[in-house]
Amino acid sequence: MQPTDQPLIVRSPTSPDEWEAYFDLRWRILRRPWGQQRGSERDSMDGSAFHLLLLDPARKALACGRLHFNAPDEVQVRFMAVDEDMQGRGYGSRILEGLEAEALRRGARKIVLNARDNAVEFYRKRGYVIVGDAETLFGVIRHVRIAKSLP
């Protein structure tokens, strides 16, 4: 259970320990269950992307996500992950809201992402619509392409 008297921290990772926690969460939630090795949770866009991490007061990584530009007015969300024990508490929403705010701040007009089937409803509730099919990751995880226009 999370302490209620201390606030959660939402920010870009700032220290080597926070970066390690960030990438570890991405790997544990998005890659390890399918037998993927460490390192598979990273890609060539990480260096130029905007990263967001939600930490508890003890600095445990609870949720994360990444934003990068595909075009001058279009950003893509990738690597959204919430610790298994913390799902359903609104932490993913806090990360997505932070990524959307950063996209707006940087002048984006549209957000796209490839959502796993089991996450589509999460995004629909937040204004995203399905625009097509996307890849099937590791031959078993079906994704759909979804998008949202920004004001």
Average pLDDT, the chain: 92
CATH code for the domain in which residue 106 is found: 3.40.630.30
| Residue 55 phi, psi (nearest 5) | -115, 145
54 vs 13: CA distance, rounded Å: 9
Structural domain contains residue 112: yes
Question: Which pLDDT score is estimated for 5?
Answer: 56
In a domain, 1, yes or no: no
Helix or strand run (H / E) with residue 27: helix 16-30
What does the pLDDT average to over 67-71?
A: 96
Q: What proportion of the chain, given as a percentage, has pLDDT over 90? A: 82
Q: Is residue 4 part of a domain?
A: no
Residue with tokens 């099937």: 136
Q: Is residue 93 part of a domain?
A: yes
pTM: 0.91
Number of domains in the chain: 1
Residue 56 in domain: yes
- HEC assignment per residue over 48-114: HCEEEEEECCCCCEEEEEEEEEEECCEEEEEEEEECHHHCCCCHHHHHHHHHHHHHHHCCCCEEEEE
Let me know if 23 is exposed, middle or buried by CB neighbors in 10 A (0-12, 13-18, 19+).
buried
Alpha-carbon span 29 to 127, nearest angstrom: 24
Q: What is the pLDDT of residues 134-148, one digit of tens each?
A: 886 776 778 899 999
pLDDT of 128 > 70? The answer is yes
Residue 38 lies in a domain: yes
Which range of 33-42, 95-104, 113-122 scores highest in mean pLDDT? It is 95-104
The answer to whether residue 3 is domain-embedded is no
Domain assignment of residue 26, yes or no: yes
What is the pLDDT at residue 137?
A: 72
**Domain enclosing residue 15, as ranges:** 9-149
The predicted pLDDT at position 122 comes to 95
pLDDT tens-digit readout, 30-40: 999 888 899 99
